[in-house]
Structure 1
Amino acid sequence: MFEEYKKEVLEFYFFKKGAGELSSNLENPGRLKLKNECLKIFAEKYTKKDDQILKLFFDPLGKFNDHIKSIEKFGLDKFRPLVKFLKEGTSIRDEAAVKLLAWLTGFDSYQDWRSKKESREPDESENSDTGQQGDSIPETGDKEISEENDNSLSNSAGTSTEKNINSNEKADDNEDKEEEVVIDSDTIEPQGTPIKTVTLTCVALLFLASGFFFLFKKSTIRQPYADEQCMYWAGDHYEPVKCDEKIKDVTLIPINQKALNNLRKINVIDTLTRYSIGKVWYTRIGGKHEFFTDSGMHPVDTLKRLRPLSTYILSNHISHDRYLLNLWRLSIAGIIAVVLYVICLVYFFRRQKKFKS
């Protein structure tokens, strides 16, 4: 029954959203917006009846005696399933979150909704019973009418049997024709060529797409949330995080939007060319050169400053020809794999044709 309640709550939310009756916090929900909306609704229309809903969601362990305090101390990440439920319509297992949504939108509480549902069911059953009694046919009737009905039934039965015989004969004729068509189709060459062409095209496009993705892929930049004021180096880019979060073997630093958006480590250094001069910076760590997409200090060894890429470093430590050679080898391997796949398809379709003949 709760699944039905969940569905009606979500439909009510979208109805109010379409009618423009929701607040700005619920119109485009986010974790912080939902938290602020809870504080707002609590200040506007809190009653003693809402205690169970608020306690079940914000303070199930009973740590706080004040609802406002429990809402303010509530972690924003715990709103994430409810935000996803509202934006994407995905399933949600937390019943407390559904009841909270009903409270925020002004929908009936689960207890009130269930009592109304149960009170309507007996009325419907009574109506169905009375309907059945009202539709009952009296036993007494006119003999002449019954005789006429018997005659009409016998006539209709006769005509129906004739129709069935005719339809069966037609069905038999159709089956004979289908068998003839099947026998004729065996002599025709199977339509295998279009399937092979489509398969070959799909495989080639997939190979090209994966190659372009490998060459030009860029790590997505995740922008920080309102409560994420720090960041840490994640190997080849900065990742925003809360300042009080503990992550093993990393150092948290205050967030720098410029470094977060622009500083990336270049892992495939042989892709660099003379056009990269002025756009790439480097430093030497542990006897190896590391290259980055922006200037500043090294993200791990903060005592070393990144220097601009020079022609000398490009000529002596980077080989673009080596990169092209590796790319050529990878392309040859992909082409060989595609050719082998096509050969297997041709062999399969020829075996299938031979088996049919």
Structure 2
Amino acid sequence: MFEEYKKEVLEFYFFKKETNQLSSNLESLGRLKLRKECLKILAEKYSKKDDEMLRLFFDPLRKYNDHVRSIENFELDKFRPLVSFLRDGTSIRDDQPVKLIAWLMDFDSYQDWRFRKETSQPDDCGFSDNGMDSEPDTGEEGEPDSDTDESSSFVGKEEADEKTTPEAQQEDCEQNASNDSRNVLEISIKRSFSIKKTLIISMVFLLLGGGVFFLLGGNTTGTARQPSVGEECMYWTGDHYEPVKCDEKINDAVLVPLNLQTLNNLRKINLMDTLTANSLGKVWYSKIGGKHEFFTDSGVHPVDTLKRLKPLTNYILNKHVSYYRYLLTRLMWSVSVIVMAILGIACVIYFLWRQKKGLKSF
């Protein structure tokens, strides 16, 4: 029965991929991306019923006290069969990776899926109480009610026997199961159309959130993630350093020895127009490729290590930074946010109105 579950999980993955419903980590598969997706889903929707599945996959020997550490220290090569299973549809020996990918995609757990399958099977698939041993209808004295001749009665009985054989009933059950699968697919497709409505509204509010984030700052990243056991190196992500194991390979990244002072304090300032005279003595800069980049700490440039970061001066501040330009940008974003909010509310009202009227959307 697990083979059927495995097949449905794979079909669900390809369905979500074709309808663009997968997260970026699952859309373009990779071992490191699978680890990141596990940490993300763990933070978003962890519940106690997930403990057993997570422990059996990430920490069968119970080395760690929490799931975050077990995922962070999980060997990336052990994700390889799961990547091959999803990317190429190759067979996978163990059950736990299949249960993990179902959890990542918000598919039914195996227990829930099995319960649903067992409770949805028709009663006559068990070949019991199906009328195979039933006697023909008789009158009060046990004689057949039909006045037809003996040959026609024999033909009717033969046809009834053919319809009630185990092979015929098994064929009916398989047909019903096939119809159930098609019904599930139809429901999924209908659900995807309703999801489109939600996606449109979500995109609107996502743009709203992005605008608010841009308006309120977005200047630097938050607190740095502290290194775990064995992470003695770090790499530059584009605006901050991230701790990593020295033997781990990161695409297009140069690993450097871990420096807690640099890890915790050095950030790239993404919105340089937010800098003011109060930033003097607190900000450093460097010119790379004809453009000025600003940082929250001194030291060498994270990418071009031959250049040292210089303290921000009044001359650089006045020539390359414009706080008025930042205020103008905020004003434009504020207007955009208001317009998108009005459109979002109008879309919600429109969809609710169509739903109330029973009109078909899309």
Shorter-chain TM band:
0.3 to 0.5
**TM-score after normalising by structure 2:** 0.41
Question: Which of structures 1 and 2 has the bigger CA Rg?
Answer: 1
Higher helix share: 1
